[in-house]
Chain A
Amino acid sequence: MNSLIKTAALVGTDAVAEAMRQINPDVVAAYPITPQTAIVETFSQMVADGLVKTQMIAVESEHSAMSATIGAASSGIRAMTCTSSQGLALMWELLYIASGLRLPIVMPNVNRSLSAPINIHCDHGDSMGARDSGWIQLFSENAQEAYDNTIQAIRIAEHPDIQLPVMVLMDGFIISHSIDRLDLQDDTSVQKFIGSRNPAYSLLDSQNPTSVGTFDSLYGYFFEFKRQQEEGMINALNVIQEVGNEFGTLFGRSYGLFETVGMEDAEYAVIATGSAAGTIRMEVEHLRSSGVPIGMIKLRSFRPFPAKQLAELLSGLKAVAVFDRSDTFAGHMGGPIFIELRSSLYDLEKKPLTINYVYGLGGRDLSEKLVKKAAGELMETAQNGFVRQTVNYLGLRE
């Protein structure tokens, strides 16, 4: 391993700010919102201290944060922003424009619930609302992964076959405001890993003055552009894996579309993402040590959704429990991960039974006890061969 590692104790927001310092983007436009604020604060101090070359735009809203980031990224340079919750919601129309213009913007989003009622704590309702906006979405389990994902996101976004924006997701407060031990790579290795951006177009290319954001009329080509975007997402399935492998070779921490525990001999499995994966893993490992054939999948890439890969892994299993930290309000359809997973399993000859646990909305804690309860019901489902209740609310006062 060539890269020097420094072990540090940082809160998640500082881990992300540190990744941003090492990426050293040309432009950052951002607006404060709890619980993302600490990223903007820490990064602003880095700018003030001359630790980065970045030009910072302290905009007057998240809408303008994303607009300015789009303008900057269209100018051929590396531009970043970050947000949370209502801020992400305010950016909504621009998320589609960033992906439609094929701009490789990287944006950490500190997951927080959406109003009303107003609540500043974690759930995944904010980023799940943007799941069809054409952004790649990578979840992080802890500060280490938030740091690693932010760095890898640059490479993924700017890959010539992708050219799409990436949202790096981390759970509000649980990751963003907890001190965690993590390994930081040295600046030179990070710079070498990310390389420089080679834009598809630039407003500041004086040899090729470019019109960006053109109008497409009824007899135009909108359909073709959208198909191109989907191709970028399809390509991302391979590129996320490749970049994750390369990161592992260089820095010792490999990443893929998801991570597994004990899936080689599992008869039933749980799927989760974000910080809850830690609690769930503990319970899964505990059960496995007492001989229970349970496995676990920690989903990293929600967009693109690794449907085929998950289906292969789950074929022949007796039952699968999906943990969702948001609801779709679709009338008892369950959470978004559950819906995507069930759709992924549809073509399997040997489909597992599926149960959904919606948990942790508005920051409600997922305790070991609750995970045990769900795991117990999963085992019972596998033994009985039928699902008693498909969508369950875990930790709800009932």
Chain B
Amino acid sequence: MSTKLKDLVKKPQILSGGHRLCAGCGAPIAVRQVLMGMPDDIQLVVACPTGCLEVSTTIYPYTSWNCSYIHCAFENAAATLSGVETAYRSLKEQDKLKEDYRFIAFGGDGGTYDIGFQALSGALERGHRLIYVCYNNEAYMNTGIQRSGATIMGTWTTTSPHGDNSFGKKENQKNMTAIAAAHNIPYVAQASISHWKDLVRKAQKAFAADGPAFLNVLSPCHRGWRFPMEKTVEMAKLAVQTCMWPLYEVEQGKWNLTTKVRDKKPIEEYLKPQGRFGHLFKSSPEVIAAIQDNVDREWEKLLRLCGE
């Protein structure tokens, strides 16, 4: 399948304008790029857990989705979608449905790493043919910037504030991509909206997978990360260039680095432009060093897994 823009641009726009996500939001960029990887001649059902994307794209009586869509609750997008996918298989087996459908969930990191973790794990283990995309902005943004399991150490959020006794979030983020890979499903990948071609190719593979696929897509939130709104793609790019957010895939159990970073930029270049890390530069330089250590350690680990 092509990843040439001249071809991708001809694909139908599944997400219409008129949604009410913030100007400069990373989430719809992730959604649009993933859906550029959708095969032709299929129907789509999208599921969203509760979150920014959900509340902003389906404000009754308006929907931005040019396909079927379901929101049920916060922690259960994967379970809900597994019900839809099973209903589809039932109708297919009974010869009651002609069209071919694909099923895709778009959840934030809160709905994926935290509250939706169990339902996601269950759906991946049961082997439903669905794609789960985490549009990851590293905190609960819909409720106003609270820490999640995806928030990196040192980050200021409203529930991990910095103060005399705090440098921000104390704990490292969990590695959700690796956890998804541990389910031994056909396809898992980590991607970034800045590297669109890599992302579209991964989406194409996810759509083609004969079973569950999981995509963890870095989708910065300028409101929560505290940077100017036109820099959304730029921040995602810096995350890749500093190896804070490496791009890789796990295809049928095989780990593969999809973007090789030759000259890893120091982590300060990523942290400095973001207000959520501003306090570290004033009062906690040791935390910056610790973040760099974590990044280096995880990067080395990944290189080994990918046989680099």
A67 and B87 contact, Cβ closer than 8 Å, known pairs A210-B68, A217-B59: no
Instruction: Verify if B71 is at the interface (C-beta below 8 Å from A).
Output: yes
Residues of B within 8 A of A69 (CB): 83
A353: interface (CB < 8 Å): no
Q: Which of A72, A74, A94 contacts B73 (CB 8 A)?
A: A94
B87 contacts which of A60, A77, A97 (Cβ < 8 Å)?
A77
A53 interface neighbour in B81, B82, B94, Cβ under 8 Å: B94
Residues 30-72 of chain A: 1 if any B CB is under 8 Å from the residue's CB, otherwise 0? Answer: 0000000000000000000000011101111101100111111
Cα distance, A268 to B123, chains bound together (Å):
55
Query: Most chain-A Cβ atoms within 10 A of its Cβ — which of B58, B83, B99, B118?
Result: B83
Cα distance A61–B67 in the bound complex, in angstroms: 29
Asked whether B60 lies within 8 Å of A216 as measured between CB atoms, the reply is: yes
**A217 contact set on B, CB distance < 8 A:** 59-60
Q: With A55-B89, A57-B83, A61-B122 known to touch, is A214 a contact of B59 (CB < 8 Å)? A: yes
- Knowing A29-B86, A70-B83, A206-B43, the reply to whether A63 touches B68 (Cβ < 8 A) is no
B230 interface residue (CB < 8 Å to A): no
Tell me which residues across on chain B come within 8 A of A70, comparing CB atoms.
Answer: 72, 80, 83
The total of chain B residues at the interface (CB under 8 A) is: 46
> B99 to chain A: which residues have CB within 8 Å?
206
> Is B79 in contact with chain A by the CB < 8 A criterion?
yes
Bound form: Cα–Cα A57–B128 in Å = 10
The answer to whether residues A214 and B83 also contact, given A55-B89, A204-B101 and a CB cut-off of 8 A, is no
A67-B84 in contact (CB<8A): no
A97-B73 contact in complex given A67-B83, A71-B79, A203-B84, C-beta closer than 8 Å: yes
Which partner residue on chain B sits nearest A61 by CB separation? B118
Most buried by B among A55, A58, A72, A203: A203
The answer to whether B58 and A211 touch across the interface, beta carbons within 8 angstroms, is yes
Among A57, A212, A221, which residue has its beta carbon within 8 angstroms of that of B86? A57
Q: Is the CB of B69 within 8 A of A212?
A: yes
Is B13's CB within 8 Å of the partner chain A? no
With A27-B87, A72-B83, A75-B83 as given contacts, are A63 and B45 in contact (CB-CB < 8 Å)? Answer: no
Contact A60 B122 (CB under 8 A): yes
B7 beta carbon closer than 8 Å to chain A:
no
Determine whether the beta carbon of B90 is less than 8 Å from that of A77. yes
Residues of B within 8 A of A365 (CB): none
Q: Is the CB of B72 within 8 A of A215?
A: no
**Of A68, A74, A75, the contact of B79 (CB 8 Å cutoff):** A68
**CA–CA, A218 and B121, complex, Å:** 34
- Given the complex of chains A and B, what is the CA–CA distance between A125 and B97 in angstroms? 42
Kindly state whether residue A26 has any CB partner on chain B within 8 Å. Answer: yes
Cβ-based interface call for B88 (8 A): yes
Shortest beta-carbon distance from B16 to chain A in Å:
11
A contact residues around B241 at 8 Å (CB): none
Q: Does B255 contact A (CB under 8 A)?
A: no
Residues of chain B contacted by A214 (CB below 8 angstroms): 58-61, 63, 71
A54 to B90, alpha carbons, bound, how many Å? 7
A221 vs B60: C-alpha distance in the bound complex, in angstroms?
A: 8
A26 to B83, CA, bound (A): 11
CB contact under 8 A between A58 and B126, given known A53-B90, A64-B79: yes
- Tell whether A291 is near chain B: CB-to-CB under 8 Å: no
Whether a CB of chain B sits under 8 angstroms from the CB of A379 is no
* Closest A residue to B67 using CB positions: A209
Which of chain A's residues have a CB closer than 8 A to the CB of B63?
211, 214
Check if A203 sits within 8 Å of B76, measured CB to CB: no
Instruction: Please give, as numbers and ranges, the residues of chain A lying within 8 Å of B123 by CB-CB distance.
Output: 64
B72 near A94 with CB under 8 A, answer yes
Query: Among A29, A54, A61, A211, which residue has the most Cβ atoms of chain B within 10 A?
Result: A211
Contact B84 A71 (CB under 8 A): yes
Q: Closest CB of chain B to A88's CB: distance in Å? A: 16
B58 x A215 contact (CB < 8 A): yes
B54 interface residue, CB < 8 Å from A? yes
> CA separation between A293 and B63, bound complex, in Å?
62
| Distance in Å: Cβ of B94 to nearest Cβ of chain A | 6
Q: Is the CB of A97 within 8 A of B119?
A: no
**A-contact bits for B40-58, CB 8 A (1 contact / 0 none):** 0001010100000011001
How many Å lie between the Cα of A73 and that of B94 in the bound state?
16
A-B residue pairs, 4 tightest by C-beta: A71-B83, A68-B83, A60-B122, A75-B87
26 example contacts (A-B, Cβ-Cβ < 8 A) are as follows A26-B90, A26-B91, A27-B90, A29-B86, A53-B90, A60-B118, A63-B119, A64-B118, A67-B76, A68-B82, A71-B82, A72-B84, A75-B87, A75-B91, A77-B90, A77-B91, A94-B76, A204-B97, A206-B43, A206-B99, A210-B68, A211-B69, A213-B58, A214-B60, A215-B71, A217-B59
